[in-house]
Chain A
Amino acid sequence: MTALALSPTARPRRAVLRLHRPASIVWGAFVLITVGTLLWVHLFRAPDARHPVDPYFVLTDVNNIVNFLGEVLSYTSIAVAAWAAAALVGRELETGTARLAWTQSVTPARWLTAQLGAAALPLTAGTTLLGLVYAWVWTGDQDVLVTNWSYDRVLVPAGPLSVALVLFALAVGTLAGIALGRALPALAVATAVTYAARYFFGRKWDNIWPVRRYWPVQLSATAVLLALTALALVAAFALLGRRTTIKGAAV
């Protein structure tokens, strides 16, 4: 972080990834299965729906699947907030393993940076991929979908808003974990705040705009969420520094 950083060769991110291997596997599987299902819809179910031969079946209906996936994707941030608050940060402080990490050759701030980096990269990559595929399938198959971009199950997952919301969830979870120091209360607060953000930006934000157009709504919501994410991260690092270390030694 600075020229004075201790042990520049230490590999905290590798250690973090080792700790959260199960979460990485779950996230990877979720992304793969969701992308696979969307491709299946686009390549097989949507063409079938244009020339129906099969009788209607609730689990293979194009609208049902796309709506369901849209709902699931729009709430991904809640799961991320819960995981970040409880598993990534809150549990560490609650069980004392944070003190184990902080007394190795890395500072608390560097450990938190590694935790955030190890989580943010796969979350950003996965959410971006999901958003692109969802937007592509939704755009291509609009003729067989009963839908509108302003529905929150479309607006939230189909654009950069989804990435911003997931990063916001990560930051809020981290802040709640550090502020509360315990897994369960942090989980409750972080999921509530993230749910509120998802509700507000998914359902209310587009009403604020006099001319309702997709990209201004998407981009403005993304920008506001990223600014809030930055604020939450600054608060999290400040709180961590105040709680743990002596001034000047935090980086």
Chain B
Amino acid sequence: MTGTAAIEAAALGKRFGRRGGWALRDCAFRLPAGRVCAVVGPNGAGKSTLLALAAGLLAPTEGAISVLGTVPGAARERVAYVAQDKPLYPQLTVAETLRMGADLNTDRWDASVAQRVVADGDLNPKSRIRTLSGGQCTRVALALALAKRPELLLLDEPMADLDPLARHEMMGLLMAQAAEFGTTIVMSSHVVAELEDSCDHLLLIGGGRVRLAGEIDELLAAHVRVSAPAQTALEPHPVVESRTTGRQLSALLRPSTPLDTDWHTSKPSLEELVLSYLRNPEASAIETPETAA
């Protein structure tokens, strides 16, 4: 473990209401600074709760989370957060919304960044927010977040409202930000394919728990897709998922020792890996050594 972690969670849990269910429980992971991290998981897995905890909008029910080496509330100057529903003040114009960002982030605000993001979307600065489409609101929300020049950018389903062209362009903008300023970006999505090319770190959440955490390359390298005759014993390798079709067994393994040479093996894609874990909630959670908290 070197340097300050962008986010570090230990036994983190959040329950809504005294009798409510746990939205997140027993979460422990470490996200090194400078990564572009995908937070994936099914609907209701706890992704938004985790991001809100990191943004200092919710207090944990148990455990602890630290952001940029301090408590989330104290880091809010250096953290930008875009909520899933992209809340903006409907009565303001685009230009007024950006002026508000300038007023509330005087020490860090970069007006030229905000102008550029808004202008690239052909948005009239005099348009009222209430007249904008969902995608246009997303653009204004991202302009606010990027112009703050954050060290950590938390994005909850940022691309959901964007058309494919805008999505591609915004992703390019985010990657440029990450490359130029070393910004750590954490974005949640349930569309895994969307994130595969741009993210280098994965946090898979399912049922309120961390199922997988680590560098995507390492996670992929640690797993093998195996085809073998049915009834083949897969022990001692930990099995994430196995399926028998006729006389053929196909499985996703996390090999602990070199594999049998007569098995047919292939590298899984990120989507296969994620889906295998999500389909099999009893498969044990793993973290690559670097990210173990």
The answer to whether B55 and A96 touch across the interface, beta carbons within 8 angstroms, is: no
* Cβ-closest chain A residue relative to B58: A244
Task: Name the A residues within 8 Å of B79 (CB-CB).
Answer: 103
The interface bits of chain B over 35-58 (1 if a CB of A lies within 8 angstroms of the residue's CB, else 0) are: 000000000000000001001111
Which residues of the other chain, A, contact B105 by a CB distance below 8 angstroms?
A: 7, 10, 104-105
Chain B residues in 8 Å Cβ range of A18: 92, 96, 99-100, 103
Task: Judge whether B103 and A245 touch: CB under 8 Å.
Answer: no
Contact A11 B56 (CB under 8 A): no
Query: B107 interface residue, CB < 8 Å from A?
Result: yes
- B100 in contact with A7 (CB, 8 Å): no
Q: Say yes or no for B104: interface residue by CB 8 A criterion.
A: yes
Cβ of A22 within 8 Å of any chain B Cβ, yes or no, is yes
Pair B55/A103 contact, Cβ less than 8 Å: yes
Instruction: List the B side residues contacting A103 at CB < 8 Å.
Output: 55-57, 76, 79-81
With contacts A6-B74, A97-B87, A104-B76 taken as known, whether A14 is within 8 angstroms of B103 at the C-beta atoms is yes
Contacts of A100 in B (CB 8 A): 83, 87-89, 141, 144
Contact A7–B56 (Cβ < 8 Å):
no
A139 at interface by CB-CB < 8 Å: no
**Distance between Cα atoms of A103 and B152 in the complex (Å):** 12
B106 at the interface (CB under 8 A from A): yes
A7-B59 contact given A97-B89, A246-B72, CB 8 Å threshold: no
Number of B interface residues in the complex (CB < 8 A) = 36
Task: Report which residue of A101, A102, A242, A247 has the largest number of chain B beta carbons within 10 angstroms of its beta carbon.
Answer: A102
B71 touches A (CB below 8 Å): yes
- Total A-B residue contacts, Cβ distance less than 8 Å: 105
Cβ-defined contact, A10 with B104, below 8 A: yes
A223: interface (CB < 8 Å): no
- Do B71 and A249 touch (CB < 8 A)? yes
B91 CB within 8 Å of chain A: yes
Known contacts A7-B107, A104-B105, A249-B73: does B100 contact A99 (CB below 8 Å)? Answer: no
CB atoms of B77 and A6 under 8 A apart: yes
Tell me which residues from 78 to 122 in chain B have a Cβ below 8 Å from any Cβ of chain A.
79-81, 83, 85, 87-89, 91-92, 96, 99-101, 103-108
Q: Which residue of B lies closest to A97 (CB)?
A: B87
Closest to A4 in B: B74
A90 at the interface (CB under 8 A from B): no
CA distance A31 to B281 in the complex (A): 64
Contacts of A2 in B (CB 8 A): none
How distant is the Cα of A249 from the Cα of B59 in the complex, in angstroms?
11
Select B85's contact among A9, A96, A105, beta carbons within 8 Å.
Answer: A96
The yes or no answer to B209 lying at the interface (CB within 8 A) is: no
In the complex, whether A95 has a CB less than 8 A from a CB of chain B is yes
Cβ-based interface call for A197 (8 A): no
Pick the contact of B77: A11, A19, A105, A242 (CB < 8 A).
A105
| Chain A residues, Cβ within 8 Å of B101 | 104
- Chain A residues with Cβ below 8 Å from B89 are 19, 97, 100
- B25 CB within 8 Å of chain A: no
* Bound form: Cα–Cα A22–B103 in Å: 19
B92 touches A99 (CB 8 A): no
B148 within 8 A of A: yes
Chain A nearest CB, measured from B265 CB (Å): 46
B88:A9 contact, CB within 8 angstroms:
no
Q: Could you pull out 17 A-B pairs where Cβ atoms are within 8 angstroms? A: A7-B77, A7-B107, A14-B103, A15-B100, A97-B89, A99-B52, A100-B141, A102-B56, A102-B76, A104-B76, A104-B104, A104-B148, A105-B77, A105-B108, A106-B104, A246-B59, A246-B72
